[in-house]
């Protein structure tokens, strides 16, 4: 190809935002001529590459956009260590159909029982399926909402939140809210109702929600929206962190104790 044509082609590919085709058109032409591929075959191979790359870039963007504190997947979740968790339900939820039905998930249980891990793994799976996901700790979100209200940009944040198909609200109930904070959170949950899926993790039994929200009326309305079409996952076992720490201590103790045969030999 003449230099002028090459320059123009590269310009057009850039203008059309086809970076993979820009990178690949020359080496692919060499491969295709070796394979005796015809023109449509060449174009097909190039466009396939572009599509695949585009999907990969979008998946990376979604994952970054989700703001997971640590990326955790279901592969590293040990169901045997937490038998109270309903594994068949988790496996079903990983398929993501609840998102299309705009249903919510509530993960309830003590600290350290894997709620955040499960919520992240479910969010990760949703990302992989092309869904827009955003992880927040409830405290982060409420702080952000209050700040935005101060700056008079609350509505923009609310609209941004609506664009996510899955909102993860982690750790409801760890910190009580001010009245304004509770109302703003209620607003987010109200807007998400029947529009997006919420995944909420909490260590609180329902009876204690009013205390954290600071209002019986608000709590009633909130529970009403949240629990209409909800899947509840309970994790009631011992804290995984605690168990892990105990295992570590036992191993240490085993190492410092004399080997069991040693006493007999003396
Ligand atoms: P929670 O949110 O319920 O307080 P986390 O999900 O933060 O608990 O779990 C605490 C730590 O223990 C995390 O590092 C998590 O990955 C790990 N963990 C908890 N449960 C399991 C499990 N069943 N299998 C593997 N890791 C687990
Ligand atoms: Mg947690």
What does the alpha-carbon distance between residue 104 and residue 41 come to, in Å, rounded to a whole number? Answer: 46
Angle among Cα 218, 223, 228 to the nearest 5 degrees reads: 140
Measured in Å, residue 76 CA sits from the centre of ligand 1 at 10
Ligand 1 binding pocket, CB closer than 6 Å = 72, 76-78, 81-82, 109, 111-117, 201, 240-241
Ligand nearest to the CA of 120: 1
116 and 201 Cβ atoms separated by less than 8 Å: yes
Instruction: Output the CA–CA distances (angstroms, integers) from residue 241 to 73, 194, 203, 237, in the order listed.
Output: 17, 35, 15, 11
231 and 200 Cβ atoms separated by less than 8 Å: no
Measured in Å, residue 9 CA sits from the centre of ligand 1 at 52
What does the alpha-carbon distance between residue 49 and residue 133 come to, in Å, rounded to a whole number? Answer: 26
> What is the model's pLDDT at position 257?
57
Ligand nearest to the CA of 169: 2
pLDDT in tens, the chain (266 residues): 568 999 999 999 999 999 999 999 999 999 999 999 999 999 999 999 999 999 999 999 999 999 999 999 999 999 999 999 999 999 999 999 999 999 999 999 999 999 999 999 999 999 999 999 999 999 999 999 999 999 999 999 999 999 999 999 999 988 778 889 999 999 999 999 889 999 999 998 888 888 888 888 888 888 888 888 899 999 988 888 777 777 777 777 777 655 444 433 33
Q: How confident is the prediction for the chain on average, in pLDDT?
A: 90
Task: Report which secondary-structure segment, H or E, holds 170.
Answer: strand 166-172
> What is the model's pLDDT at position 215?
82
Measured in Å, residue 214 CA sits from the centre of ligand 2 at 22
- What pTM was computed for the model? 0.84
């Amino acid at each position: 190809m003449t230099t002028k044509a090459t320059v123009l082609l590269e310009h057009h590919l850039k203008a059309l935002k086809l970076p993979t085709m820009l990178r690949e058109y020359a080496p692919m032409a060499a491969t295709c001529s070796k394979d005796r591929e015809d023109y449509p075959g060449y174009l097909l191979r190039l466009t396939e590459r572009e599509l695949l790359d585009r999907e990969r870039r979008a998946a990376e963007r979604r994952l970054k956009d989700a703001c997971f504190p640590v990326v955790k997947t279901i592969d590293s979740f040990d169901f045997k260590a937490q038998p109270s968790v309903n594994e068949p339900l988790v496996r079903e939820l990983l398929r993501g159909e609840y998102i299309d039905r705009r249903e919510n998930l509530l993960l309830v249980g003590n600290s350290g029982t894997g709620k955040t891990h499960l919520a992240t793994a479910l969010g990760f799976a949703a990302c992989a399926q092309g869904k827009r996901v955003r992880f927040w700790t409830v405290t982060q979100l409420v702080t952000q909402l209050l700040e935005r209200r101060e700056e008079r940009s609350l509505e923009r944040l609310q609209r941004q939140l609506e664009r996510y198909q899955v909102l993860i609200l982690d750790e409801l109930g760890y910190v009580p809210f001010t009245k304004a904070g509770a109302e703003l959170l209620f607003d987010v949950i109200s807007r998400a109702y029947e529009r997006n899926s919420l995944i909420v993790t909490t260590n609180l039994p329902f009876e204690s929600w009013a205390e954290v929200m600071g209002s019986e009326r608000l709590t009633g309305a909130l529970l009403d929206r949240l629990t209409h079409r909800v899947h509840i996952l309970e994790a009631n076992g011992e804290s995984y962190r605690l168990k892990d720490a105990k295992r570590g201590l036992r191993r240490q103790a085993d190492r410092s104790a004399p080997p069991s045969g040693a006493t007999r030999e003396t």
